[in-house]
């Protein structure tokens, strides 16, 4: 029996009150978007069908803005899908991308340049980049990362919380929409290429002043939640991802998140007991926490008090492992990183241009941000003509 405590619907709704969130990436990032949209509305997990579906015209009160089923569906690099969820106090948008920088990405950046600036942007692009293009995929990925990070840093205001999340572990045997017959020979090597690409992209994102969340490290001991295709992950894993993202955002904004009202008890039953009273394998049921651990919120959102100190909130038990590497594990001095031998660097140069204030650590898991939109303040005009394309 394993217990997992997640960020609740109420906490997510309050934390992202009057916030605009943008999610960029592939099918896993689409599920990140879907789980966030679902959690903003109810205490419920994604169904297997919702995890597998793509391009549908509606999902939990959101709408398909562009691409998807509006056009013939395919698994090519030109596939497009833009989704958006809008409520009275939340705006969440998703862009499906197959390359970290391309002509299509430039059009997305133009949207961000001229439209409402997001409060949070969550993005990742890797697996398609290093598998579906030419033989110099890793080298091109490096160049595109430099270009993309430089433009993002220029476009977004300093108040925007920019989160680059590293690609999750791939299986030994993988199947997926991106794995067309022409590149099947790369499948066995791809999980190792992802590790290399994760290190370089995480190092570079940190050098450009972005927050980095290492989902590869977080899920290294949670492979039982990976789907049979070796690429995608189940609903429990995606709720953990959402919780990690929201927890990180709360810390960056100096918001203390109390223990949630309820957790989810995930019971793995090898066989039914003799009395036959147990529920079938994989059944989830809500578990109330002790009353002294939860205080109902007031109208001024006092249960999510803003505080200058940043505490680490971790409600996970044995099911998922926290991102607690030994002290100093990733504190690699920057000169060492720049002087890696060529056979380890694969031609990557992590140093951003003209950055005299680069941090000493290769990666950080969180970074403080000025919180400029209090929860009780309505930002007038945010959901007017910017609410849709």
Rounded CA separation 151/144 (Å): 11
- Asked whether residue 277 is domain-assigned, the answer is no
Q: Can you list the positions of beta strands (E) in 26-99? A: 63-67, 81-86, 90-96
- Asked whether residue 213 is domain-assigned, the answer is yes
Rounded CA separation 281/370 (Å): 45
| Closest of 29, 55, 197 to residue 123, by C-alpha | 29
The most distant pair of C-alpha atoms in the chain lies apart, rounded to whole Å, by 70
CB 134 within 8 A of CB 77: no
- Could you give the number of structural domains in the chain? 1
Q: What pLDDT score does 28 carry?
A: 96
Q: Helix or strand or coil: residue 263?
A: strand
Instruction: Show the tokens assigned to 184.
Output: 């099947």
Instruction: Show the tokens assigned to 215.
Output: 């989902």
- Asked whether residue 39 is domain-assigned, the answer is yes
Residue 229 burial by Cβ neighbours in a 10 Å radius (0-12, 13-18, 19+): middle
- Asked whether residue 284 is domain-assigned, the answer is no
Q: What pLDDT score does 5 carry?
A: 67
- Asked whether residue 205 is domain-assigned, the answer is yes
- Asked whether residue 234 is domain-assigned, the answer is yes
DSSP per residue, 215-258: HHHHTTT-GGGB-TTSS-B-HHHHHHHHHHHHHHHHHHTTB--P
Other residues' Cβ atoms within 10 Å of the Cβ of residue 340: 16
Identify any residues that bridge with 306 across adjacent strands, giving them in sequence order. Answer: 255
- Asked whether residue 379 is domain-assigned, the answer is yes
Residue 242: half-sphere exposure toward Cβ, Cα within 13 Å: 34
What order of strands is seen across the sheet that includes strand 81-86?
63-67, 81-86, 90-96, 19-25, 120-123, 161-165, 211-213
Q: What is the CATH number of the domain that holds 27?
A: 3.40.50.1110
Rounded CA separation 56/66 (Å): 11
Instruction: Show the tokens assigned to 374.
Output: 């209090």
| Closest of 258, 252, 363, 359 to residue 310, by C-alpha | 252
Rounded CA separation 36/9 (Å): 9
- Asked whether residue 152 is domain-assigned, the answer is yes
Q: What is the pLDDT along the chain (389 residues), one digit of tens a residue?
A: 344 568 999 999 999 999 999 999 999 999 999 999 999 999 999 999 999 999 999 999 999 999 999 999 998 899 999 999 999 999 999 999 999 999 999 999 999 999 899 999 999 999 999 988 876 778 899 999 999 999 999 999 999 999 999 999 999 888 766 666 666 767 778 899 999 999 999 999 999 999 999 999 999 999 999 999 999 999 999 999 999 999 999 999 999 887 654 444 333 333 333 333 333 343 333 333 333 333 333 333 334 444 443 333 333 333 454 443 433 333 333 333 333 344 434 444 444 545 444 433 334 444 555 544 433 333 334 333 333 43
Q: What pLDDT score does 207 carry?
A: 96
Q: What pLDDT score does 194 carry?
A: 94
- Segments forming the whole domain that contains residue 139: 8-255+323-387
């Amino acid at each position: 029996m394993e217990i997992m405590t997640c960020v609740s619907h109420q906490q997510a709704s309050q934390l992202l009150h009057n916030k605009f969130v943008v999610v960029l990436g592939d099918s896993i990032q689409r599920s990140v978007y879907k789980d966030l949209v679902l959690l903003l509305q109810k205490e419920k997990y994604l169904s297997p069908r919702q995890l597998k579906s793509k391009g549908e015209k509606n999902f939990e009160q959101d709408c398909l803005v562009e691409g998807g089923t509006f056009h013939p569906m395919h698994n090519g690099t030109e596939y497009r899908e833009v989704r958006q969820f809008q409520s009275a106090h939340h705006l969440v948008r998703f862009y499906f991308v197959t390359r970290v920088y391309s002509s299509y990405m430039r059009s997305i950046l133009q949207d961000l340049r001229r439209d409402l600036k997001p409060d949070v942007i969550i993005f990742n692009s890797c697996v398609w980049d290093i598998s579906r293009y030419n033989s110099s995929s890793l080298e091109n990925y490096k160049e595109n990362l430099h270009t993309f990070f430089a433009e993002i840093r220029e476009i977004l205001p300093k108040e925007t919380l920019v989160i680059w999340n590293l690609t999750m572990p791939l299986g030994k045997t993988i199947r997926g929409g991106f794995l067309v017959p022409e590149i099947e020979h790369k499948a066995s090597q791809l999980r190792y290429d992802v590790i290399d690409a994760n290190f370089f992209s995480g190092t570079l994102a940190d050098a450009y002043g972005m927050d980095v969340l290492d989902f590869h490290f977080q899920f290294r001991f949670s492979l039982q939640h990976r789907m049979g295709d070796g690429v995608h992950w189940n609903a429990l894993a995606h709720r953990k991802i959402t919780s990690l993202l929201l927890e990180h955002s709360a810390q960056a904004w100096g918001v203390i998140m109390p223990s949630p009202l309820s957790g989810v008890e995930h019971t793995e039953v090898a066989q039914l007991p003799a009395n036959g009273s147990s529920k079938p394998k994989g059944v989830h049921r809500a578990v109330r926490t002790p009353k002294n651990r939860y205080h109902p919120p007031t109208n001024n959102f006092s249960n999510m008090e803003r505080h200058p100190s940043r505490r680490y909130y971790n409600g996970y038990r044995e099911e998922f492992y926290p991102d607690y590497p030994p002290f100093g594990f990733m504190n690699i001095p920057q000169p060492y990183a720049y002087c890696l031998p060529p056979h380890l660097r694969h031609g990557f140069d992590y140093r951003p241009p003209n950055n005299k204030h680069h941090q000493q650590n290769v990666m950080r898991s969180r970074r403080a941000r000025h919180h400029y939109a209090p929860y009780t303040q309505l930002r007038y005009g945010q959901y007017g003509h910017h609410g849709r394309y």
